[in-house]
Structure 1
Amino acid sequence: MHGSSLRASLLLLTRVWFDSVRHLSAAGWKMFYRDSFAYTCLLQRCDGLKSLKEIHAQIITCGYEQNPFLAAKLVSRYAEDNGSNMEDARKVFDRVSERDVLMWNVVIRGYASSGASGEAVKIYDHMRRKGVLANQYTYPFVLKACAALGDGNKGQVIHGHVVKVGLEWDLFVGNALVSFYAKCKEIEMARRVFDQIPQKDLVSWNTMIAGYTQNEHPNDAIMTLHQMLRDDTVGMPDHATIVGALPACTQAATIQEGMLIHSYIVKSGMEVDVALGSGLIAMYGNCGRLKTARNLFDRLLDRNIVVWNAIIRCYGMHGLADEALEIFSQMVDSGVRPDGICFVCLLSACSHVGWVDKGWELFGKMEDHGVEKRDEHYACMVDLLGRAGRLNEAVKFINEMPVEAGKDVYGALLGACRIHNNIELAEKAAERLFILDPDNAGRYVLLAKMYEDAGRWEDAARLRKLMKEKQVRKPLGSSMVEVDSVVHTFGVEDESHSMKVEIFDTLESLRRVMAEDWNRERERMRESEKGRWLELI
């Protein structure tokens, strides 16, 4: 009998056996089960909450409630289905008097997976107070909870605990630390931990690539992808690799990298699901390949809201508001409910073409679709009014907002003031931004340029001096060149490259060649002009 047929037969026999005993009386259960192993098998195979509760009741009746292994299995089963029954899981946990590390880990995992991240961290702290030593299975889930909470300080403390117990070299803990630091916007620390992992697996590389993408470091994400491909110890890129790398190609508008990834998807036979489909559509749209993006969209059979939003954004960002609105109508007719991102794309499309009335109409329809108006939607309306030169309406709109305007709203107003050279209003918007978004150098630079354009040099100097005092720095520009599949990045006045001597020598040689060519061209032009004068004379 083949392996697959044998497994199918065993599953069928197990199912028949389970159905035959699940309705036994309490006495029947006691006679049938002599130890906890049978309950473990039943818990492994039970389906549905009702069956789980029946088995749980029999475990209590037979006196196995304090068995730590069975209790951990019960907690695990209750915590399944995204932790929808964590209340029951916690009751089992609380009733067990002697809890081993497995029991604690199962509860922490349940809370972390169900979104109750605060409870997961509390359980971890309670575990430490009880003197239970955490292991390599504890830290990934508690770090996941810290990342979800955005609690960088707590995560750093737990990182200290990891080092203290000697688990900093563990692969799974290391991957969890990389993910934690990346999600808390500490991408440099994430890279430092990543580099210290002795034997990286595919998950390690995927986590680092996704971390760079999430923190808007697309070039670093692409460079890391190239490094992974050169590592012989790692397998071929998988679905997670591509999902993490495609947004980096979109952010950097690198059509060549994106097309290479698309070719790999096709050649490897990887299924183009909604995640890959939306990523490819966004990449081609951002690189100006709208026809390709639309062809991909039309060929996708399974389209969720993310896919629809991707194609709407493609049309909107290129000023094709008619096509964006047409796609939106098709989406609604197909029964897909729009979300907040969808309306951001639509309002932005209207802003790019100056459709103020249509923007107001869409803004009013958000409530009809059950979409909550958030700061980004108000910012889109301010941008729409501001681009159209209706600054007074934009100010009135901000003052009448039902919630306090955030940095995105005032940022849109400042940008509109720059377009229409309204310095007085720009100063008021910037004043709010210096409070709401004090570390954003772009706000200071934008107002300083407006002062310079108006000839107000003292005000511009004062603002730049304020930036220095507050240590607000504008990110340095950089250039990149790819040589033999390796991307090299150069910043302003950057001398950190290992081949800086050769690079500067080559630049100097090029400068001399260009100077010689320019001198020869100038002499040629002088001779030509001299010839014309002689002809005239």
Structure 2
Amino acid sequence: MHLLGSRVMLKHLFGSTATRETIRFYFIGRASIGIQNRDSYDYTHLLERCRSSSCLKKIHAQIVIGGFEQNPFLAAKLVGAYGDYGAPDMGDARKVFDRLSDRDVFLWNVMIRGYANLGPFEEALNVYHHMRLSCVSANRYTFPFVLKACGAMKCVKRGKVIHAHVVKLAFDLDLYVGNALLAFYAKCGAIEMSRVVFGEIPRKDIVSWNSMISGYTSNGYAGEAIKLFRAMVQEHNFMPDNATLVGILPACAQAAAIHIGFWIHTYIMKSGMEVNAFLASGLISIYGNCGHVKIARDVFNQVCDKNIVVWNAMIRCYGMHGHTDEALNMFSKVVELGIGPDGLMFLCVLSTCSHAGLVSKGWEIFHSMEAYGIQKTEEHYACMVDLLGRARLLDEAARLIETMPIPAGKHVYGALLGASRVHNNIELAEKAAEKLFVLDPDNAGWYILLAKMYEDAGRWQDVARARKLVKEKEIRKPTGCSSVEIESFHHTFGVQDESHPCAQEIFETLRSLEGMEDEELVMTYM
């Protein structure tokens, strides 16, 4: 191949990215290292050692000049390398893919994986669709990538179609595919389907358990996550790994399951597991939610490489327990270290100021957000409304809402309604409630809160009107329940709840206790 022809080919392949320096490298390499004697295995080794986009383009050009552009195995390696080190839009990888005339299932999988990892996720599904039209049969490695793309888009409908393909091709009992299905449904919030898939996996591995525990946790089913964690360790003899603990710790913090938190902390120390930022933040949250501030600080001090997540967890712990000075000092320390606070940290600090009644400090921190490049969200404005409301500055809170550069949502008006209830400002409460009935019409709490204000004011007709709205709209208030921890087990129950397996014994014991109280009362007056 003469020089001009090779130059044209490289320009056609890379477009404007084929610079003189890049082209010169190839022809020097061709002359000096015997490129004509290389085979596909040589290029495979080169691609495995490649760690940059510029190096990748040079090897790609050598592959083209060497006449290996149509080698399916080498093309798959090249597509995978572009997915790892190339442009974020997968453009260069797609050029290699489109120019190949003979594509096997491995190459299709590599292309789908690239889009599933980098996006656009829709394109991963498009490639999968074209793969089926090309009569290339998917294998057990195809579906996890496709399901990952569906999960990233939160597209349950299309994921269910892929699930049907899985069943049709008899991959539904495959562990690798089953774990991917489980994770997909959990990411989309379809936790019931996740549990069905989990139950159908014949031989579960640690990934199966981790995915199900994490799915329960991320969807707000803390109690179910804890039950599954106990079953995994005690009944099935799986020892938790780092991913297990990262998944279960937030559930323990949410449920304030301090005994399991102690067990996990002890297990980490005995197993010699490194307390990284994710484990540390989880432990700090558990101890913080259970009131063990000193232990939370000890965990914080033991982390060598503290990231923003760890700092946020500790600041939140201090703030929720009234240690205002410690929380604000820690915020100042973050700024001094040049870490750069994020939006969540500002929420934690603003909440601290709100509970401590530090209006001036709260305004100062709120106005400083722009200096750190943090965009104010509705949650930040809601924090400020709550701060002003607690300080009886309701008119100032209302003015802040009117001047918001973004639409005020249910969090902002909810904070205003709560403050109006505390300070008995019915007029402002009605305005906030009117907005909430539109923004969050199915939340019974807003109607009930307004009705209670009317009751306190003796406005019985308005009370009846508010309760009538709840009835007409068929809005149901979530059933209240209590929870008690006995020997590391959480028992949840409601009023007259007969769902517990020992319900009969419980009610008999309660009746006997009531009888004992009646006897003591009689003896008191004798």
Given the two structures, how large is their TM-score scaled by the length of structure 1? 0.87
Name 2:346's counterpart in structure 1. Answer: 343
Name 2:162's counterpart in structure 1. Answer: 158
Unaligned runs of 5+ in 2: 1-25
Q: Tell whether 2:376 aligns with 1:373.
A: yes
In 1: Cα distance, 2:483 partner to 2:468 partner: 31
In 2: Cα distance, 1:335 partner to 1:68 partner: 49
In 1: Cα distance, 2:465 partner to 2:129 partner: 49
In 2: Cα distance, 1:85 partner to 1:45 partner: 22
Q: Spell out, residue by residue over 1:153-196, the C-alpha distance to the aligned partner (whole angstroms, 9 max, x if none).
A: 32233223323322222222222222222222222222222222
Q: Spell out, residue by residue over 1:53-75, the C-alpha distance to the aligned partner (whole angstroms, 9 max, x if none).
A: 22211211222212221111101
Matched-pair contact (CA < 8 Å) for 2:285–2:317: yes
Name 1:17's counterpart in structure 2. Answer: none
Name 1:9's counterpart in structure 2. Answer: none
Matched-pair contact (CA < 8 Å) for 1:121–1:142: yes
In 2: Cα distance, 1:471 partner to 1:355 partner: 41
Q: How does 1:136-151 map to 2 (within 5 A)?
A: 136-151=140-155
Pairing partner for 2:442 from 439, 443, 450: 439
Deviation (angstroms), 1:332: 1.0
Matched-pair contact (CA < 8 Å) for 1:226–1:485: no
Pairing partner for 2:57 from 46, 50, 53: 53
* Residue identity in the other structure for 1:369: Y
Name 1:189's counterpart in structure 2. Answer: 193
Name 1:288's counterpart in structure 2. Answer: 291
Seen in structure 2, the aligned counterparts of structure 1 residues 464 and 149 have a Cα distance that, compared at 3 Å, is: farther
In 1: Cα distance, 2:131 partner to 2:374 partner: 41
Name 1:510's counterpart in structure 2. Answer: 509
The count of corresponding residues between Structure 1 and Structure 2 is 501
* Residue identity in the other structure for 2:409: G
Pairing partner for 2:81 from 77, 96, 99: 77
Matched-pair contact (CA < 8 Å) for 1:386–1:394: yes
Name 2:126's counterpart in structure 1. Answer: 122
Name 1:6's counterpart in structure 2. Answer: none
Decide which moves more: 169-178 or 237-246.
Answer: 169-178
Pairing partner for 2:451 from 448, 452, 461: 448
Deviant stretches of 4+, over 6 Å: none
Decide which moves more: 137-146 or 378-387.
Answer: 137-146
* Residue identity in the other structure for 1:320: H
Q: Spell out, residue by residue over 1:254-297, the C-alpha distance to the aligned partner (whole angstroms, 9 max, x if none).
A: 22121111111111111001111111112111111111111222
Q: Tell whether 2:408 aligns with 1:409.
A: no
Deviation (angstroms), 1:151: 2.2
Name 1:16's counterpart in structure 2. Answer: none
In 2: Cα distance, 1:22 partner to 1:245 partner: 56
Matched-pair contact (CA < 8 Å) for 2:116–2:148: yes
Name 1:32's counterpart in structure 2. Answer: 37
In 2: Cα distance, 1:148 partner to 1:526 partner: 69
* Residue identity in the other structure for 2:509: L
Q: Spell out, residue by residue over 1:131-163, the C-alpha distance to the aligned partner (whole angstroms, 9 max, x if none).
A: 433332222222222222222332233223323
Q: Tell whether 2:258 aligns with 1:247.
A: no
Matched-pair contact (CA < 8 Å) for 1:79–1:86: yes
Matched-pair contact (CA < 8 Å) for 2:421–2:429: yes
Is the partner of 2:419 in helix, strand or coil? helix
Seen in structure 2, the aligned counterparts of structure 1 residues 393 and 128 have a Cα distance that, compared at 3 Å, is: farther
Matched-pair contact (CA < 8 Å) for 1:83–1:111: no
Deviation (angstroms), 1:36: 2.2
Name 1:267's counterpart in structure 2. Answer: 270
Q: Spell out, residue by residue over 1:423-463, the C-alpha distance to the aligned partner (whole angstroms, 9 max, x if none).
A: 33222222222322233333333333333433444444444
Seen in structure 2, the aligned counterparts of structure 1 residues 83 and 244 have a Cα distance that, compared at 3 Å, is: farther
Matched-pair contact (CA < 8 Å) for 1:104–1:127: yes
Name 2:181's counterpart in structure 1. Answer: 177
Deviation (angstroms), 1:465: 4.2
Q: How does 1:306-345 map to 2 (within 5 A)?
A: 306-345=309-348
* Residue identity in the other structure for 2:503: F
* Residue identity in the other structure for 2:30: S
| Aligned-residue CA RMSD (Å) | 2.5
Pairing partner for 2:215 from 199, 211, 214: 211
Matched-pair contact (CA < 8 Å) for 2:52–2:85: no
Given the two structures, how large is their TM-score scaled by the length of structure 2? 0.88
In 2: Cα distance, 1:353 partner to 1:295 partner: 24
Q: Spell out, residue by residue over 1:459-518, the C-alpha distance to the aligned partner (whole angstroms, 9 max, x if none).
A: 444444433444433322334456676544444554444x3xxx2331343134224423
Name 1:228's counterpart in structure 2. Answer: 232
Deviation (angstroms), 1:367: 0.7
In 2: Cα distance, 1:466 partner to 1:147 partner: 38
Unaligned runs of 5+ in 1: 1-20, 528-537
Of all paired residues, the percent bearing the same amino acid is 58
In 1: Cα distance, 2:511 partner to 2:174 partner: 54
In 2: Cα distance, 1:181 partner to 1:369 partner: 37
Seen in structure 2, the aligned counterparts of structure 1 residues 322 and 485 have a Cα distance that, compared at 3 Å, is: closer
Seen in structure 2, the aligned counterparts of structure 1 residues 186 and 493 have a Cα distance that, compared at 3 Å, is: farther
Pairing partner for 1:110 from 111, 114, 125: 114
Name 1:200's counterpart in structure 2. Answer: 204
Pairing partner for 1:299 from 299, 302, 310: 302
Is the partner of 1:79 in helix, strand or coil? helix
Is the partner of 2:81 in helix, strand or coil? helix
Decide which moves more: 174-183 or 460-469.
Answer: 460-469
Matched-pair contact (CA < 8 Å) for 1:146–1:152: yes
Matched-pair contact (CA < 8 Å) for 1:444–1:463: yes
Seen in structure 2, the aligned counterparts of structure 1 residues 78 and 442 have a Cα distance that, compared at 3 Å, is: same
